[in-house]
């Protein structure tokens, strides 16, 4: 972890600012339980220690910044296309588009800061899980999708004309081909019925023999009820047992666990109990106050490795860290590129990208007629102005410019902002 970020830090700020300040490939595990896009506001019950805590779960154009959508268009064209498709499906109301765009810009950062062996868990429910799966496939790659975990619980209401909802989804991805999975630390106990059937020779024990079996993608863990000891009353607080299972599965002692929407810091407490290093982020001041209280008082900490005398080792910050790695200033510069298409002679796509190679590959398909070629690229801090200049100077439609390639190159080289 970079020196400017201490282990056991809770940041109180918009997580995008914090994520942008974290060095590339420094985190082992990211778990997030963001708003689910339920189109309502969640509020903590009166009388609980979380009273006064609330968070908004409605996303509109007002929550988006123009520059985020622009950045996605330039660097993640597949994500941009997906977002546009969602917008087209929705028509006038664009709640889902706004939610997904808000999340996309943050998820791109989550992927960047993960180590190549790192794992990623996105906690959601059927409201948006189908869209989120597509979004994560675009960002992490379809092949990096590992599990759709069903968290099954018993609490919740009883709808008159529907089946009652008893599960959330947790979508699990790896960043690279190699990743941690400690199945032995999370083996499941077989039911007595199954053990009896194995003992009588009516069923064969597969993989792990005896009392335990390989963990499945259905987690049967009780949700926090009104009487639960760990309950602080924070809206949508998740059980420690759920987070402990995830952390055990996808990290080792000493690894760095990050929760960018940490609420009352369940992930941080679970990570502490399992001797992992951790960082939590939440935008809500109430969450931040509650975390101080929870982390200082909760019995879970005393049961864990952190002794009371060490509580001063927990840091609270409202200031975003600064990246100290080589790519820290990469954001200030991008390429303006010229690419050609075999079928459109005399027309060139002039656009912007941080990574032209990956941009180019997003245009290529198995269709040989789409064999785009990178003709020229120029790194500049005035990339937007330069792109505009080229499009204004020549006959152009959308990203395509009609001119001699050398003319375009000359115009790019001689451009002065
Ligand atoms: C579903 S709750 C998380 C609950 C948490 N898993 C727990 O067990 O307490 C979502 C949290 O995301 C926070 N949040 C929403 N937008 C945020 C943002 N842009 N940056 C940081 N936190 C944000 C909210 O304040 C809320 O606490």
Model confidence pLDDT, tens digit, residues 64-73: 999 999 999 9
Q: How far is CA 69 from CA 79, 101, 102, 349, in A?
A: 10, 7, 9, 20
pLDDT for res 312? 57
How close is the Cα of 258 to the center of ligand 1, in Å? 13
pLDDT above 90: residue 204: no
**Any residues with CB less than 8 A from the CB of 35 and at least 6 apart, and which?**
42, 55, 56, 57, 59, 99, 261
Is residue 303 over pLDDT 60? no
CB contact set of 325 (below 8 Å; sequence gap of 6+): 2, 23, 24
122 lines ligand 1 (CB under 6 A): no
- How many CB atoms within 10 Å of residue 186? 18
Question: What does the block give as tokens for 213?
Answer: 């079996």
Instruction: State the CB neighbour count (10 A cutoff) for residue 406.
Output: 10
Helix extents (H) in 172-237: 192-199
Closest ligand 1 atom to the C-alpha of 14?
Answer: 20
100 lines ligand 1 (CB under 6 A): no
Question: What is the whole-number distance in angstroms between the Cα of residue 29 and the centre of ligand 1?
Answer: 17
Q: What angle, rounded to 10 degrees, do the helices at 129-140 and 95-113 form? A: 40
pLDDT at 301: 53
296 pLDDT above the threshold of 80 = no
Measured by CA distance, the residue closest to atom 10 of ligand 1 is: 34
Instruction: Say yes or no: CB of residue 34 within 6 Å of ligand 1.
Output: yes
Q: Is the separation of the CB atoms in 280 and 6 below 8 Å?
A: no
- The predicted model gives 52-75 an average pLDDT of 89
Look at residue 124 and tell me whether its pLDDT is greater than 80.
yes
Confidence category of residue 42, pLDDT binned at 50, 70, 90: confident
**Which helix (H) or strand (E) covers residue 257, if one does?**
strand 256-259
Token code pair at residue 16: 């995008």
CA distances from 228 to 42, 225, 239 (A): 20, 5, 9
Whether residue 36 has its Cβ less than 6 Å from ligand 1: no
The overall average pLDDT reported for the chain is 89
Mean pLDDT of 379-384: 94
pLDDT exceeds cutoff 80 at 39: yes
Q: Which residue's CA is the nearest one to ligand 1's atom 19?
A: 14
Q: Is 250 in the pocket of ligand 1 (CB under 6 A)?
A: no
Q: Whose CA is nearest to atom 3 of ligand 1?
A: 263
**How close is the Cα of 417 to the center of ligand 1, in Å?**
42
Residue to mutate, 43, 121, 283, 317, ligand 1, most ligand atoms under 8 Å from C-beta = 283
Given a cut of 60, is residue 10 above it in pLDDT?
Answer: yes
The percent of residues in the chain predicted with pLDDT above 90, rounded, is 62
User: How many angstroms separate the CA atoms of 96 and 319, rounded?
Assistant: 30
- Closest residue by Cα to atom 13, ligand 1, is 261
235 Cα: distance to centroid of ligand 1 (angstroms): 10
Residue 210 pLDDT: 75
- Residue to probe by mutation, ligand 1, list 17, 22, 35, most atoms within 8 Å of CB: 35
| Mutation choice for ligand 1 from 261, 267, 289, 290, CB with most ligand atoms inside 8 A | 261
Q: 266 in ligand 1 pocket by Cβ < 6 Å? A: yes
pLDDT for the residue numbered 226: 83
What gap in Å lies between CA 206 and CA 322, rounded to an integer?
50
pLDDT of residue 308: 56
Ligand 1 binding pocket includes 386 (Cβ within 6 Å): no
Number of the ligand 1 atom closest to the C-alpha atom of 234? 9
In the prediction, which pLDDT does 367 show? 67
What's the rounded mean pLDDT across residues 237-247?
97
pTM: 0.87
Query: In the chain, what are the domain boundaries?
Result: 9-184+230-317, 187-220, 334-411
DSSP letter at 112 equals H
Residue of 15, 31, 34 with the most ligand 1 atoms within 8 Å of its CB, for mutation: 34
Q: Going by DSSP bridges, is the β-strand pair 27-32/114-124 parallel, antiparallel, or unpaired?
A: parallel
Given the candidates 3.40.50.150, 3.30.2290.10, 3.30.450.20, 3.40.50.2000, the CATH classification of the domain at 9-184+230-317 is 3.40.50.150
**CA-closest candidate to residue 258, choices 277, 236, 230, 273:** 277
Task: Give me the helix-helix angle, 129-140 and 77-90, nearest 10°.
Answer: 160
Closest residue (by CA) to atom 24 of ligand 1? 55
Q: What is the pLDDT of residues 333-381, one digit of tens each?
A: 999 999 998 888 899 999 999 888 877 877 766 666 778 899 999 999 9
With a 6 A CB cut-off, is 280 part of the ligand 1 pocket?
Answer: no
CB of 287 within 6 A of ligand 1: the answer is yes
Judged against a pLDDT cut of 60, whether residue 286 lies above it is answered with yes
* 154 three-state secondary structure: coil
Average pLDDT over residues 412-416: 96
**CB of residue 14 inside a 6 A radius of ligand 1:** yes
pLDDT tens digits, 65-97: 999 999 999 899 899 999 999 999 988 778 999
Ligand 1 proximity of 281 Cβ (cutoff 6 Å): yes
Cα–ligand 1 centroid distance for 91 (angstroms): 28
Rg (CA), the chain: 25
Q: What local confidence, expressed as pLDDT, does residue 1 receive?
A: 78
What average pLDDT does range 115-135 have in this prediction? 97
- The CA distance from 164 to 152, in Å, is 12
- Residue with token string 């390989």: 214
How far is CA 319 from each of CA 11, 39, 257, 315, rounded to the nearest angstrom?
Answer: 7, 30, 20, 12
Residue with the larger pLDDT of the pair 270 and 55: 270
């Amino acid at each position: 972890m970079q020196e400017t970020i201490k282990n056991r830090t809770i940041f109180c700020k918009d997580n995008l600012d914090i994520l942008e300040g974290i060095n590339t490939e420094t985190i082992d595990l990211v778990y997030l339980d963001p708003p689910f896009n339920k189109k309502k506001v969640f509020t903590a019950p009166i009388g609980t220690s979380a009273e006064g805590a609330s968070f908004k779960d409605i996303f509109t154009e007002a929550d988006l910044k123009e520059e985020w959508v622009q950045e996605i268009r330039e660097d993640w064209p597949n994500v941009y296309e997906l977002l546009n498709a969602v917008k087209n499906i929705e028509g006038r109301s664009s709640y889902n588009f706004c939610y997904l765009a808000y999340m996309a810009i943050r998820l791109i950062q989550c992927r960047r800061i993960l180590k190549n062996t790192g794992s990623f868990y996105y906690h959601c429910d059927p409201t948006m899980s189908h869209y989120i799966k597509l979004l994560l496939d675009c960002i992490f790659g379809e092949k990096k999708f590992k599990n759709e975990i069903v968290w099954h619980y018993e609490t919740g209401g009883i709808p008159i004309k529907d089946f009652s909802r008893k599960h959330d989804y947790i979508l699990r991805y790896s960043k690279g081909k190699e990743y941690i999975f400690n199945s032995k630390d999370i083996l499941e106990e077989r039911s007595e019925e199954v053990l009896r059937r194995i003992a009588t020779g009516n069923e064969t024990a597969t993989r792990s023999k005896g009392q335990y079996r390989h963990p499945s993608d259905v987690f049967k863990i009780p949700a926090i009820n009104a009487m639960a000891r760990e309950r602080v009353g924070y809206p949508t607080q998740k059980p420690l047992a759920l987070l402990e299972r995830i952390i055990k599965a996808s990290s080792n002692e000493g690894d760095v666990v990050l929760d960018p929407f940490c609420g009352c810091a369940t992930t941080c407490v679970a990570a502490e109990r399992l001797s992992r290093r951790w960082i939590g982020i939440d935008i809500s001041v109430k969450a931040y106050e509650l975390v101080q209280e929870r982390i200082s008082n909760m019995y879970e900490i005393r049961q864990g490795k952190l002794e009371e005398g060490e509580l001063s080792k927990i840091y609270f910050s409202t200031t975003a860290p600064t990246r100290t790695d080589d790519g820290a200033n990469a954001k200030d510069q991008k390429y303006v590129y010229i690419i050609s298409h075999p079928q459109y002679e005399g027309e060139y796509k002039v656009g912007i990208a941080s990574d032209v190679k990956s941009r180019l590959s997003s245009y290529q398909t198995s269709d040989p007629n789409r064999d785009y070629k990178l003709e020229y690229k120029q790194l500049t801090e005035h990339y937007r102005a330069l792109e505009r200049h080229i499009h204004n100077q020549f006959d152009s439609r959308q990203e395509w410019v009609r001119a001699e390639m050398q003319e375009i190159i000359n115009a790019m080289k001689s451009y002065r902002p």
